[in-house]
């Protein structure tokens, strides 16, 4: 399958369609998880995955950070008292064992990711303890993707090599912005020399893939300053670059109230930053993967998308086959074939649940047959930028009376309006996202989202 090699930035359409929408790392969106959920449903989903020998993807959440980043919306625990990690690891490993006992069998782990927070907040012995607990509990594919996020402010060359020698083969770190004024405003001080040193250590340690994160829309950013950040990022030569739109939501994320709101760039400036960033990255050989992700053309993400084999889950884009994602730790989300769950978000509640219940689940949602069909449609559009209606009909056994066009009659009508604006091209059996539509893929996916009707706009970030 050959996809368009570029993305077109139409500022008029970006303004027209910019609205609060889910990011569609899942469907139904995570906002549908409810406390009215029986953990028995999770147990049943584990059993189903075991019977069907569905591969596994594992996520471990390390919530601790020494200092807060004022832009951050992650579930974190801010403390410089490192001893707090000892009881957390004990409970985290119990959480892993609780689930692993019910997985059993020969299910293979294709993907492992440690996120946070700051995973390198942990000491070397603590990292080793968790690493071995996971490998004792599960069977790993020798070619598994084993990735970790690190904060460059708290890492040195020896730790980089320790992580590689332990077995991690992928690594990610946040840059956000090179500009010192921006770094001060968001409380993330990372001198340019430090960032280049960290990348040099990672490259010397020979990690298979390196991802860096940038954020546009932060205080004091301009088109010129952010273009400078992007250029320096290109000089770092990472395999993947994520360029996130900053969602300023102080009513939901209290730490953002410490940002200088008067210094935030306006919508026009943000759109200009996005347009300039796309031009810079594509001009330097990076492929637009989707949403806010770019990769080198020889990166697995780009190759998988070209082959029509890209996937997406709560961890973002992935090259691995459809798997059961098991989330461990505070606030971690599990994503099974017909069940999503999220663990408790507070340490006290998380510990108490592990002591007293089979799983530390705070909320969840069971997927209906309709949810699963719509999920397949949305994920195919999000990942491949095109959809074969026939493939959906065959996979989900849609009958003649409920063929794709009949099943999604209202949605096909809504797509016509998007086609008029040049976001999609419709043919009898295919939906094709155009270069203009690729930046508005959340809007296209939202056509198939039946849950949006009950949401208030405050629950989601802007689509651009």
Mean pLDDT split into 10-residue runs, the chain, 464 residues: 64 90 91 93 94 94 97 94 96 96 87 96 98 97 96 97 98 98 98 98 97 98 98 98 95 95 96 95 95 93 89 81 92 96 97 96 96 95 94 88 89 96 95 95 96 70 76
Q: What pairing do the DSSP bridges indicate for beta strands 311-313 and 316-318?
A: antiparallel
Give residue limits of the domains in the chain.
Answer: 1-18+369-456, 29-326
Tokens of 302: 């780009």
**Residue 159's closest CA among 190, 132, 126?**
126
Tokens of 283: 């001009």
Tokens of 319: 């090259």
What string of DSSP letters covers 230-264? Answer: HHHHHHH--SEEEEEEP---TTT-GGGGGS-GGGS
pLDDT at 458: 52
pLDDT at 400: 65
Domain boundaries 1-18+369-456, corresponding CATH code = 1.10.10.920
Which class is 29-326 in CATH? alpha beta
78 DSSP β-pair partners: 65
pLDDT at 314: 77
Q: What pairing do the DSSP bridges indicate for beta strands 293-295 and 287-290?
A: antiparallel
pLDDT at 382: 93
> What distances in angstroms separate CA 66 from CA 76, 119, 212, one per listed residue?
10, 11, 20
354/360 Cα distance (integer angstroms): 5
pLDDT at 2: 40
- Determine the 3-state secondary structure of 365 from DSSP: strand
Residue pair 211/239 in contact (Cβ under 8 Å)? The answer is yes
pLDDT at 188: 97
Do 29-326 and 1-18+369-456 have the same topology in CATH? Answer: no
CA atoms within 13 A on the CB side of 159: 22
Omega cis (within 30) before 28: yes
Residue-wise burial string across 219-235, b where 16 or more C-beta atoms lie within 10 A, e elsewhere: bbbebebbbebbebbbe
pLDDT at 220: 98
What string of DSSP letters covers 81-101? Answer: -GGGHHHHHHHHHHHHHHHHH
What string of DSSP letters covers 148-210? Answer: EEE-GGG--HHHHHHHHHHT--EEEEEEE---HHHHHHHT----HHHHHHHHHHHHHHT-SEE
- Stretch (H or E) spanning 23: none
| pTM reported for the whole predicted model | 0.94
Residue-wise burial string across 7-29, b where 16 or more C-beta atoms lie within 10 A, e elsewhere: bebbeebbeebbebbbbbbbbbb
pLDDT at 5: 47
Q: Where are the alpha helices (DSSP H) in 206-346?
A: 223-236, 267-283, 300-306
pLDDT at 3: 41
- Stretch (H or E) spanning 72: none
Omega cis (within 30) before 197: no
**What's 341's DSSP letter?**
E
pLDDT at 238: 98
- Determine the 3-state secondary structure of 432 from DSSP: strand
pLDDT at 4: 43
């Amino acid at each position: 399958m050959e996809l368009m090699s570029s993305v077109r930035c139409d500022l008029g359409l970006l303004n027209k369609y910019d609205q609060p929408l889910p990011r569609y790392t899942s469907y139904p969106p995570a906002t549908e998880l409810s406390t009215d959920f029986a953990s028995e449903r999770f147990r049943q989903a584990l059993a189903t995955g075991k019977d069907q020998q569905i591969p596994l993807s594992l996520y471990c959440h390390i919530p601790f950070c020494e200092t807060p980043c004022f832009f951050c919306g992650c579930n974190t625990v801010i403390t410089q008292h490192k001893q707090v990690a000892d009881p957390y690891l004990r409970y985290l490993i119990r959480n892993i064992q609780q689930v692993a006992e019910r997985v059993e069998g020969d299910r293979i782990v294709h993907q492992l990711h440690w996120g946070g927070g700051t995973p390198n907040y942990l000491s070397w012995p603590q990292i080793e303890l968790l690493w071995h607990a996971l490998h004792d509990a599960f069977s790993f594919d020798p070619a598994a993707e084993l990735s970790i996020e690190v904060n460059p402010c708290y890492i040195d060359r020896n730790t980089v090599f320790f992580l590689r020698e332990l077995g991690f083969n992928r690594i990610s770190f946040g840059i956000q912005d090179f500009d010192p004024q921006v770094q001060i405003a968001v409380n993330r001080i990372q001198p340019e020399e430090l960032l280049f040193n960290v990348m040099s250590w990672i490259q010397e340690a020979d990690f298979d893939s390196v991802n860096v994160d940038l954020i546009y829309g932060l205080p004091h950013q301009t088109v010129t300053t952010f273009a400078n950040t992007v250029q320096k990022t290109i000089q770092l030569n990472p395999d993947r670059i994520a360029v996130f739109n900053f969602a300023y939501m102080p009513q939901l994320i209290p730490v953002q109230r410490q940002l200088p709101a008067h210094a935030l760039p306006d919508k026009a400036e943000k759109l200009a930053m996005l347009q300039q960033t796309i031009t810079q990255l594509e001009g330097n050989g990076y492929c637009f993967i989707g949403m806010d992700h770019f990769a080198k053309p020889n990166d697995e993400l780009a190759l998988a998308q070209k082959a029509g084999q890209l996937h997406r889950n709560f961890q973002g884009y992935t090259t691995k086959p459809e798997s059961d994602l098991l989330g461990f730790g505070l606030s971690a989300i599990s994503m099974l074939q017909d069940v999503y769950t999220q663990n408790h978000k507070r340490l006290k509640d998380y510990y108490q649940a592990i002591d007293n219940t089979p799983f530390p689940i705070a909320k969840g949602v069971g997927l209906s047959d309709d949810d699963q069909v719509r999920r397949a449609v949305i994920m195919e559009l999000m990942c491949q930028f095109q959809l074969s209606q026939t493939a959906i009909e065959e996979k989900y056994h849609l009958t003649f009376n409920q063929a794709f066009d009949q099943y999604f009659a209202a949605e096909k009508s809504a797509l016509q309006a998007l086609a008029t604006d040049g976001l999609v091209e419709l043919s009898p059996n295919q939906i094709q996202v155009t270069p203009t539509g690729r930046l508005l893929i959340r809007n296209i996916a939202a056509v198939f989202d039946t849950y949006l009707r009950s949401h208030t706009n405050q629950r989601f970030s802007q689509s651009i």
